[in-house]
Amino acid sequence: MKYDYLIIGSGLFGATFAHLACNVGKRCLVIEKRSHTGGNVYCDNIADINVHKYGAHIFHTSDEEIWNFVNSIVPFNRYTNCPIAKAPNGRMYNLPFNMNTFYQMWGVMTPEEANAKLSEQRLEAQLRMKREGVSDPRNLEEQALMLIGKDIYEQLIKGYTEKQWGRKCTELPAFIIRRLPVRLTFDNNYFNDNFQGIPIGGYNRLIDGLLEGTDLKLNTDFFSDRTYFESLADKIVFTGKIDEFYNYRFGKLEYRTVRFETEIIDMPNWQGNAVVNYTSIDVPFTRIIEHKHFELFGDRVYSNSKTVISREYSSEWQEGMEPFYPINDNKNEELYLKYKAIAQTEKNVIFGGRLAEYKYYDMAPLIKHAFDIFMKQK
């Protein structure tokens, strides 16, 4: 059979594109090198708990069209992301930075008091840079100190960021942290979006719904027989690594990866929250996820006598590991632009998604991007 589209990768971009194409009568074949669909949103079921195998995924958007679209596939619950952080001083703080955080850090109780403390610490950072003859932040550390001050930087940003990127904050570019959310309200909701939640029953239900009507082959590597697979369809939708597609002709792009250490615990409620960041450099992992809190709220958390946690360890990506986060420094951006220039000359290949575009995407913008790309095919 000749297909209209060969879609390489069954993550959110590929699955959404397949869904849109099938809805207008196009024949699609999705091939996936892993043993499961869904890319990094895939969930394992462990002890009757949906475990986010590749890290926490929280869907959030203010785009009503996208929200209605995903809910037409599977209804979403009302999960609200309210992470907390355990700091080097042993205390717990609410995230994002808001009046709860400032009360926990300084004991301030009003927005005016919090703003005065923030202004004082920002001024200290400005004066320090002035003494060193610097007008603009040269690195992430200086940028963070200018935005939020010494106390929050040292307790909640420095160690976590250095573990996440594997580099000192003084060695990281300032643009990584150009903005920091600062709220002078007692609001622990991490996102400002109008809509937020998790698919009821887990993300696998969303992916299964998106892929309904497509032909699917798992454990199938496009590069194992590229000529054969390219002959199967008029057009290719490629969601893998763009440098691999071009046989690394300019060199390899770099990534950060994450290793997960998952454990079943014989108690119903271990940390009391879905996401707890560990911001001390002395703690080797960046955060612990307790997965049941994504779907069981209030007393319902005790309906399952067990719980599942995952510790996350960030490291440099090496061949054979899953590439997670593009390292968007100048060197890698220049390399990616060389690949992008070739990709733009392709008439029958569509590049989409985190790896193919060497760009980190939240889930809702990625789905919207798949919509936009598909509409251009008409």
What are the tens digits of pLDDT across the range 101-124? 999 999 999 999 999 999 999 999
Please report how many Cα atoms fall inside a 13 Å half-sphere around the Cα of residue 153, on the Cβ side. 18
Separation between Cα atoms, residue 236 and residue 229, nearest integer Å:
9
**312 an active-site residue?**
yes
**138 an active-site residue?**
no
Separation between Cα atoms, residue 109 and residue 249, nearest integer Å:
58
pLDDT reading at 135 higher than 90: no
pLDDT value of position 29: 98
List 141, 162, 287, 295, catalytic entry: 287
State the average pLDDT over residues 308-337: 92
List 256, 322, 333, 361, catalytic entry: 256
List 5, 54, 183, 255, catalytic entry: 183
State the average pLDDT over residues 269-277: 98
Query: Which token pair is 165?
Result: 């990127």
**360 an active-site residue?**
yes
List 131, 179, 282, 299, catalytic entry: 179
List C-alpha distances in Å: 237 to 31, 105, 251, 340.
10, 49, 22, 15
List 312, 339, 357, 358, catalytic entry: 312
C-alpha torsion 58→63→65→71, nearest 10: 20
**254 an active-site residue?**
no
pLDDT reading at 329 higher than 90: no
pLDDT reading at 38 higher than 90: yes
Mean pLDDT of the chain: 95
pLDDT reading at 179 higher than 80: no
**179 an active-site residue?**
yes
In degrees, to the nearest 5, what angle opens at C-alpha 86 toward C-alphas 152 and 281?
75
**325 an active-site residue?**
no
Asked whether the whole model's pTM tops 0.85, one would answer yes
State the average pLDDT over residues 317-327: 90
pLDDT reading at 378 higher than 70: no
Among 26, 31, 30, smallest CA distance to 4 is for 26
List 112, 261, 360, 372, catalytic entry: 360
pLDDT value of position 328: 78
85: β partners: 93, 277
**131 an active-site residue?**
no
pLDDT value of position 173: 86
The per-residue pLDDT for range 77-89, each reduced to its tens digit, is: 999 999 999 999 9
pLDDT reading at 42 higher than 70: yes
Separation between Cα atoms, residue 5 and residue 341, nearest integer Å:
23
pLDDT value of position 177: 84
